[in-house]
Structure 1
Amino acid sequence: MFAPADQAQADETAQSLTIEEGKKLYSVGCASCHGTGGQGTSDGPSLVGVGAAAVDFQVGTGRMPAATSQGPQVPAKKNIYSQAEIDQLAAFIASLGAGPSVPTEEQYGPEGADIAKGGELFRTNCAQCHNFTGKGGALTHGKYAPELEGVSPKHIYEAMQTGPQNMPSFPDTTLSEKNKKDIIAYLDAVNGSKTESPGGLELGGLGPVSEGLFGWIFGLGGLIAVAVWVAARTAKAKKS
């Protein structure tokens, strides 16, 4: 057993080694765009102060390292680093300046979450870009809000913390830890494999009222078109 002082020293040594390994990975895979000290270049923003959560999200979802040729937005793709390597990179970036840390499972897990409150918060803060059930949607200039189904709860939490790309960040002063947990629980509830659309056909997942109105408008429009066509045929037949 370690004495408390010895344990603290061992932890500090282990953290230093993790940071050193992360620095090596950074030098090979990131420094060409973000600068040798994370200060940023014309090809990539500064990483000082973005925190470990931003690294875990960007690298864990495969958005970073970015392809040399890409469209207006960096897409998610299969990541090329192991989780241990991502942790090392995150530790190095966190050592450059304080920023959001990687959340724990207690923070993003379903225990104690309020799904109804999460739905309310999602509709207020997120649905205008991600659709009412997180199906994603188009933005301007060829950009888009990605679909959230199948995204890990940890990465959703980190996205809210850090505001990647076009997304605003939602610090705890805007959406508390509990708020974020509630939103994640709502997304899991509406996008779970056993969840059926209350409106039958999804039609964007707008729900039974909106989807019913959609069907009513187009159904009525179809009936009017048929009525006009029949009337025109009848009038033509009488003239002949």
Structure 2
Amino acid sequence: MASKNPRRPGGRRSKWATAALIGAGLLVTGGLYAGASAAVAATETASPTAAHLTVDDGKKLFQANCATCHGLNLEGTPDGPALYGVGELAVEFQMATGRMPLQMQGPQAPMKPVQFTQEQIEAIAAWVQSVSPGPTFPSAEILDGQGDVAEGAELFRINCAMCHNVAGAGGALTEGKWAPALTETSALHIYAAMVTGPQNMPVFNDMTLTTEEKHNLISALQWMQENPSPGGFSLGSLGPVSEGLFIWIFGIGSLIGITVWITAKSN
């Protein structure tokens, strides 16, 4: 009867047994490593420091990323204004829209990809608010979009359309500046712009527009964002400029083409 011992004559093991042992060792090692990594990741996720940044964390982030222009204690420098009294609302608006940190000096800070997480932005804003309080976040009711849309649209036409266009499509200003489009702006950032007056925008305090009027204006803009133009092609919603250009190129061009065709046929 043949022996079942896998050893070869002379006491040596089969090469297949050696390969099986190596494979089993790799599997065990890989499993242990994966389990340890998952445990460490779970611990980090559950860590209060990782989950919730504090005001002190916001201070460190500010001093590491903003103090070069705005000073270690918001006092400002030749390269950037002081931030006394701007409040957490202005900080959140500038950073959450990518305007800050400023990429380069120019007539106006453009929007660009956001450089920080929302949690980091809120931590920095909280520290600025703790050092020098200013405008803060509004109540949820102001941003709910349930205001008087008709009144809000009238307020927008009276106070905002001369810069932002009656359809909120934005427009050019003087000296290389511009009013941004409001077609995708969040309710919070619309409110923040009215209250803090960034760039060339005036401040609409409660004596200019009451809280209820701000609520209605925001509701009107939200309605415009959710309801595209029912009149066909919007042509960029730039009014007579784009409409006149369309007529000039296609209307006058068609008339010239027809005239040339008639002349050619008559000859």
**TM-score (norm: length of structure 1):** 0.76
Please show how residues 49-88 of structure 1 align to structure 2 within 5 Å. 49-67=85-103, 69-88=104-123
Matched, 1:110 2:145: yes
Q: Which of 160, 163, 167 is 1:133 aligned to? A: 167
Contact 1:108 1:180 in 2 (8 A): no
Matched, 1:197 2:229: yes
Residue of structure 1 equivalent to 2:158: 124
Contact 1:133 1:191 in 2 (8 A): no
Q: Compute the displacement of 1:77 (Å).
A: 1.4
Q: Whose RCO is larger (CA < 8 A, sep 6+)?
A: 1
Matched, 1:181 2:212: no
Residue of structure 1 equivalent to 2:135: 100
Residue of structure 2 equivalent to 1:38: 74
**What is the distance in 2 between the residues matched to 1:179 and 1:54?**
20
Q: Compute the displacement of 1:191 (Å).
A: 2.3
Q: Compute the displacement of 1:71 (Å).
A: 3.4
Where 2:78 maps in the other structure, the secondary structure is coil
Contact 1:131 1:204 in 2 (8 A): no
Matched, 1:26 2:62: yes
**What is the distance in 2 between the residues matched to 1:125 and 1:199?**
24
Which sits farther off after the overlay, 89-98 or 31-40? 89-98
**What is the distance in 2 between the residues matched to 1:196 and 1:45?**
39
Deviations 1:185-219 (A, max 9, x none): 11121222xx2424323245378xx79x969x969
Deviations 1:156-181 (A, max 9, x none): 11111100011111112211222112
Higher-Rg member (1/2):
2
User: What is the root-mean-square deviation of aligned Cα atoms in Å?
Assistant: 3.1
Residue of structure 2 equivalent to 1:9: none
The runs of 5 or more residues in structure 1 that have no matched partner are 1-16
Task: State the percentage of identical aligned residues.
Answer: 49
Residue of structure 2 equivalent to 1:170: 204
